[in-house]
Amino acid sequence: MPKNFWAGKRVLITGAGGFVGRHLFAFLSREGARVTGIVRGSSSGRGTLTCDITDIRNLAAAFRKTPYFACFHLASDALVEEGEERPYETIRNNVIGALNILELCRTNTVRRIIVASTAHVYGDASLSFSENDPPKPSRPYETSKACVDIMSQSYADSYHLPVLIPRFVNIYGPGDPSMTRIIPKTIRSILAGRRPEMWGGSAEREYLYIDDAVRAYDVLGKIEASAIERNRIFNFGGFRSITVEALVKKIISVSGAKTSVQRIPSPREEEARVQHVQSDKAYRILGWRPRIDLDEGLGNTVAWYRTHAPSL
């Protein structure tokens, strides 16, 4: 694959104002791609458009100027807790938004269509999941994403579209503004001089550093067309799973703070104890493996928040 693969290629990123979207936008821009980013709120700078992706007429305007080589569809209502509080909006926004993207990619002959998914679609069973395991969602957010996965595969099979579906574990790193997620929430508490709160703590999860997630999108965009039809779904996991309690204690250690965990009553039912995804397929076909382990990634993340916390 040439080093200047992305140079001059037109690329569309939905959700370009989000945590992962901003990093992907910056990476592809550095690689020489001509990137257009769609954001939900006010346009956040050069190359971005404000658009409600559930409005297909409004969205179609982003496709009119020049054909896109690739579309990375990252936009979604992505927080599990918000999905439980606003199930109708979450399912509507995620499903209709993805449907509109798929239809416009179909009618505009986009050559790579990457529809972001999540390991949450596998459900609450305590297993090590492969791409061949069927989705078993329960909560509104993961159910909406499973619907999008199935719909994306339907479009791919019915219209021979080059659709790829990456299923990611929990992505973390510098620049995540969501203080409901365990890593930024814990770091912010520590930097503010508060004891980090934790309920439960025995559940094991995998965490993937943002740069490794961006590399995953990069290699998906570069996949040979002949390899797509047989390999639409890819899991992208971290090095190993870790309990929530061990994670919080590791963040405290990395930060150098002299504090301890504050346990609070559980606000919801205990989650599945262990969830792990098998990423062998991503290595075998794409040559992808995570490079940044949790200690290094947390060190980078704490350093970023230490610098930027006053502005959050």
Residues designated as active site: 141
Phi, psi (5° rounding) for residue 255?
Answer: -75, -20
CA distance 169 to 297: 15
Note whether 18 and 43 are within 8 A (CB).
Answer: no
**286 DSSP assignment:** I
Smallest CA-to-CA distance from 83 within 2, 143, 21 is with 143
User: What distances in angstroms separate CA 295 from CA 38, 170, 199, 207, 249, one per listed residue?
Assistant: 33, 15, 23, 11, 12
Note whether 21 and 45 are within 8 A (CB).
Answer: no
CA distance 198 to 271: 14
Helix axes 87-107, 140-159, angle to 10 degrees: 20
CA distance 290 to 63: 33
CA distance 149 to 235: 13
Query: Which pairs with CB-CB distance under 8 Å and at least 24 residues apart come from 38-41?
Result: 38/12, 38/13, 38/14, 38/62, 38/75, 39/15, 40/15, 40/75, 41/17
Residue with tokens 């203080």: 179
User: What distances in angstroms separate CA 154 from CA 74, 103, 151, one per listed residue?
Assistant: 19, 12, 5
Amino acid sitting at position 303: A
